[in-house]
Amino acid sequence: MTQQAEPAVTTPPAPGPGKASDGRTRERPLALRLLARPEVGVFLGAVAVLIFFLITAPAVRDGSSMANILYQSSTIGIMALPVALLMIGGEFDLSAGVAVITSALTASMTAYQLSMNVWVGVIVALIVSLAIGLFNGWLLVKTGLPSFLVTLGTFLILQGVNLAVTKAITGNVATDDISDMDGFDQAKALFASSFEVGGVNVKITVVWWLVFAALATWVLLRTRYGNWIFAVGGNKESSRAVGVPVTFTKISLFMLVGFGAWFVGMHQLFSFNTVQSGEGVGQELIYIAAAVIGGCLLTGGAGSAIGPVFGAFMFGMVQQGIVYAGWNPDWFKAFLGVMLLGAVLINLWVQRTATRR
């Protein structure tokens, strides 16, 4: 840690007393070792984007705009977490975006059409969301098809079902307003409420986002299940051969994405009271992009849960920052694309230079 990376050091360091050393590895300076970690790279990227908008858009400096940016980030971030875990586990889910809407539609229509407490709808939506995840995972494990194909299939299916079933039941492309139904206020308190911090209105999803991120980090680094996620993503056959339950791990990861879709779906339902059935398309790529910017390896086996938090923050920051800066919001997607490429390239460059020395 304190050792200097002077190129003049040509003799291998003498083995320390008591502990024999290989002598071929040299401890690299702390700064270089930190830079080699992708989540540190994305953290610096997020800070850079923040500073950029703090300078160009004075409105961002306000506390309430910051809360708004965090809220925007949290709706992406909550979904980006399970998507990141799944990506570390070696798969990805293209149906994640529309699955959010499917969940919200299910809850809304179940409660409204059966005139029941909204919690019934919420529970039914949870079951449906987990079942979609189970189906994705089961089909993947059973057939051995790439997750791109399997989830592209469910993506198209859900997109069609969302629209067709909503039209068939409500006669409209949106669901009916459920804000006056039993249990709505309770559910809203859990999924879509807000609270005051020093005169700034903060949405509850920000808290959930950070809680889930902490939980995901702990699971990933400190539990057997986390170990298995890295293992099945890194080398599926090896993992199976040493006794890791690969099938269980993969299917449960897809179900975790289902859980995330349910949570975000419930948030959308209880903050807007109604759901547009055609929404959600394209969101899955935003989640995947946030995970990749956050340093998760697209091919699996490496990544973190904290990286996607910064990845989602960058997205939220840009999305709101453009508005606060008074630019034409039509440029948002273009800006995102540049940012994605830039972040990935910087990550790659930083990692290469940091690991080479």
Partner 1 sequence: MTTEKTGTHGAILQDKAPEKDAPIVELRGAGKSYGNIRALHGVDLKVFPSQVTCVLGDNGAGKSTLIKIISGLHQHTEGEFLVDGEPVRFSTPREALDAGIATVYQDLAVVPLMPVWRNFFLGSEMTKGPWPVRRLDIERMKKTADEELRNMGIILDDLEQPIGTLSGGQRQCVAIARAVYFGARVLILDEPTAALGVKQSGVVLKYIAAAREKGLGVIFITHNPHHAYMVGDHFSVLRLGTMELNASRAEVGLEELTNHMAGGTELAALKHELSQVRGVDVEELPEEEDLTATVASTEGKS
User: Which residues of the chain form contacts with partner 1 (CB under 8 A)?
Assistant: 20-25, 218, 222-224, 226-227, 230-231, 234-235, 237-245, 297, 301-302
Nearer to partner 1, 161 or 219 (CB): 219
DSSP three-state, residue 205: helix
Nearest distance from C-beta of residue 248 to partner 1, angstroms: 11
Least Cβ distance, residue 237 to partner 1 (angstroms): 5
Q: State in angstroms the smallest separation of the CB of 246 from partner 1.
A: 10
* Residues 78, 204: Cα–Cα separation, whole Å: 12
Structure-block tokens of residue 252:
């449960």
Return the structure tokens found at 165: 């079933």
List C-alpha distances in Å: 58 to 61, 239, 313, 319. Answer: 6, 52, 18, 15
- By beta-carbon proximity to partner 1, the closer residue of 142 and 333 is 142
Could you tell me how far CA 303 lies from the centroid of its own chain? 12
Q: Which is nearer to partner 1, 174 or 219 (CB)?
A: 219
User: The tokens of 268 are what?
Assistant: 């959308």
Which CB, 68 or 239, lies closer to partner 1?
239
For 46, the token pair is 């997020």
Please state the closest distance from residue 239 (CB atom) to partner 1, in A.
Answer: 7
Pick from 31, 35, 22, 23: nearest CA to 4:
31
Q: Give the CA radius of gyration of the chain.
A: 23
Smallest gap from Cβ 227 to partner 1, in A, equals 6
CB closer to partner 1, 33 vs 116: 33
Instruction: Report the distance separating Cα 300 and Cα 196, nearest Å.
Output: 40
β-strand partners of 166: none
3-state secondary structure of 301: coil
- CA end-to-end span of the chain, whole Å? 15
Compute the distance between CA of residue 154 and CA of residue 257 in angstroms, rounded to an integer.
13
Nearer to partner 1 (CB atom), residue 60 or residue 350: 350
Listed residue (92, 75, 96, 103) closest to 162, CA to CA = 103
Give yes or no for a contact between 131 and 262, defined as CB atoms under 8 angstroms apart.
no
What minimum distance in Å lies between the beta carbon of 298 and partner 1? 13
What minimum distance in Å lies between the beta carbon of 27 and partner 1?
Answer: 8
| Distance, CA of 145 to CA of 138 (rounded, Å) | 11
Question: Residue 250 and residue 139: Cα distance in Å, rounded?
Answer: 11
Q: Of the two residues 169 and 219, which places its CB atom closer to partner 1 in the complex?
A: 219
Distance in Å, CB of 289 to partner 1, minimum: 22
Nearer to partner 1, 231 or 261 (CB): 231
